[in-house]
Chains A and B, each alone.
Chain A
Amino acid sequence: MELAFFLGLALVAAAAGVLVVVQRHAVYSALYLIITMGALAGIYILLEAHFVWVIQVIVYAGAIMVLFLFVIMLLDIRREEDPWAAPDRGRILVAVLLSVVLLVELGVAVGTRLVAGVPPPPGNFGTTETVGRLLFTDFLYPFEITSIILLVAMVGAMVLAKKRLT
């Protein structure tokens, strides 16, 4: 049962991911990206990470993608000329190289875990209480530092945008 759900969701996520890339219309790409996000959220449920699932829906599917769509619509991008017309050799080479590196990395990471065997999650795994406790104890510094980095990025973006305006 669980495997069937996982395969279905994984298939949807992967297929939608491919469609994001091959779509010629930016709005459709964004829509397929939303489907990918939704399928990933489903996989989080299978992993019993309920809090992460809800945050995935609220933040990625609900907020970030709305902003994506917002920007695409404001720019009013019509059909792209023809993305396949003149494939840039250099770009393709870099893309293939990077994806091979990523695949190897993923393979090593997943493979070592599979060999070692995954322990079953504790009873309260993935609940809001557990995630909250971890964020404020073991991961307090990473958590706070991340928020400061995000703040810096935000201020930076504002400064850049302002400069262009005046």
Chain B
Amino acid sequence: MLETLIITLVKIAVVFGALLLTVAYMTWVERKVIADIQVRLGPNRVGPYGLLQPIADGLKLMFKEDLIPGQVDRVIYLLAPSLSIIPAFIAFAVIPFGDTTTLFGLLSRPVPLHIADINVGILFVFGVASLGVYGIVLAGWSSNNKYSLLGGLRSSAQLISYELSMGLSVVGVLMLAGSLSLVEIVKAQEGVYSFRGIPLMPRWFIFIQPLGFCIYFCCALAETNRAPFDLPEAETELVAGFHTEYSSMKFAMFFMAEYANMITVAALATTLFLGGWLGPIAPSPVWFVGKVFFLLFLFIWLRATLPRFRYDQLMHFGWKWLLPLALLNIAATAIGSMLGPRG
């Protein structure tokens, strides 16, 4: 009992620390990658290759003056950043980041590399993600600023619209895996497809659910307010959207929440479509982290490539394209799994 408790606490500490570090260094990766794409140098003053830049930024944000505008609704204004960042981190509690490990023989018995494996794992992630919108909406409202309010309203409308297609896009995967537990879903993707004894490709769900993956990815971009769907903080129209009135660490918390959400949706995509921790030779967490970083790179690449959608285009795309396509995907998967052999 005590041993399990200690192991769980250590796992929570490790995952939380790794997430915070990844969030910090994602800002560096994003700036470097975008600089490369735009033929610039990017941060290169603080440390070699600008590697200490995130730490310098963090220190700066912590020591900056904390302004609270006079006309805000104080309680909600102060609460909103925490409401935004807590769900972003909680979702990781059910995401499996590796197979079992004994830490090179240090532990007496193998320990599974996930904090919790619950019966309704994937629904838990969606539930927690849907709570994240409160931080943004309330920040927009409590700031008592037109730009903030518009940003908050846009964001809530966008999240509600795209959450639906996102949920439907993974139903195909759930049908094939026959479980809502994320560990079971990864295990269902074990093995390879082979043709006459020649192994062709791993049995990842992306190969049988390509449409599902595309819909999921579009929705993930919209859910995390990333370009080309970053309308809630469209600086040309809304100054900075919902966090216009926030400064210092409270602003940083919104920023961290956005990056943590990005990591969560990328990790979920890895688990559902890319076989999670599965992969040959290298230890399982390495595969998981590698796949997540590949998806994060895609996020940044898209931001540097695509112009922002217009608001009516965004709604049109979500409701008239993604939703029907997701329903079509479910119907096709159902028919396919009834006719053919499972998987």
Residue of chain A at shortest CB distance from B142? A27
**Across-interface contacts of A58 in B (CB, < 8 A):** 123, 126-127, 130
**Across-interface contacts of B141 in A (CB, < 8 A):** 27, 69, 73
Contact-size category for B: 20 to 34
Contact A50 B118 (CB under 8 A): yes
Given contacts A57-B127, A62-B127, contact A50 B120 (CB under 8 A): yes
Q: Is A74 an interface residue when CB atoms closer than 8 A count as contact?
A: yes
**Across-interface contacts of A74 in B (CB, < 8 A):** 153
**Across-interface contacts of B133 in A (CB, < 8 A):** 62, 66
Total interface residues in chain A, CB < 8 Å = 21
For chain B, residues 203 to 243, give those with C-beta under 8 angstroms from any C-beta of chain A: none
**Across-interface contacts of B131 in A (CB, < 8 A):** 57, 61-62
Residue of chain A at shortest CB distance from B159? A66
Given contacts A74-B153, A128-B180, contact A66 B123 (CB under 8 A): no
Contact of A128 among B119, B152, B156, B159 (CB under 8 A): B119
Question: Could you tell me the dominant secondary structure of chain B's interface residues?
Answer: helix
For chain B, residues 113 to 156, give those with C-beta under 8 angstroms from any C-beta of chain A: 118-120, 123-124, 126-128, 130-131, 133-134, 137-138, 140-141, 149, 152-153, 156
A residues near B (Cβ < 8 Å) are 27, 31, 34, 50-51, 53-55, 57-58, 61-63, 66-67, 69-70, 73-74, 127-128
B residues near A (Cβ < 8 Å) are 73, 76, 118-120, 123-124, 126-128, 130-131, 133-134, 137-138, 140-141, 149, 152-153, 156-157, 159-160, 163, 180
Question: Can you list 26 A-B contacts with CB-CB less than 8 angstroms, sorted by A residue number?
Answer: A27-B76, A31-B138, A50-B118, A54-B120, A54-B123, A57-B128, A57-B130, A57-B131, A58-B130, A62-B130, A62-B131, A63-B130, A63-B160, A66-B130, A66-B133, A66-B134, A66-B156, A69-B137, A69-B156, A70-B157, A73-B140, A73-B153, A127-B119, A128-B119, A128-B120, A128-B123
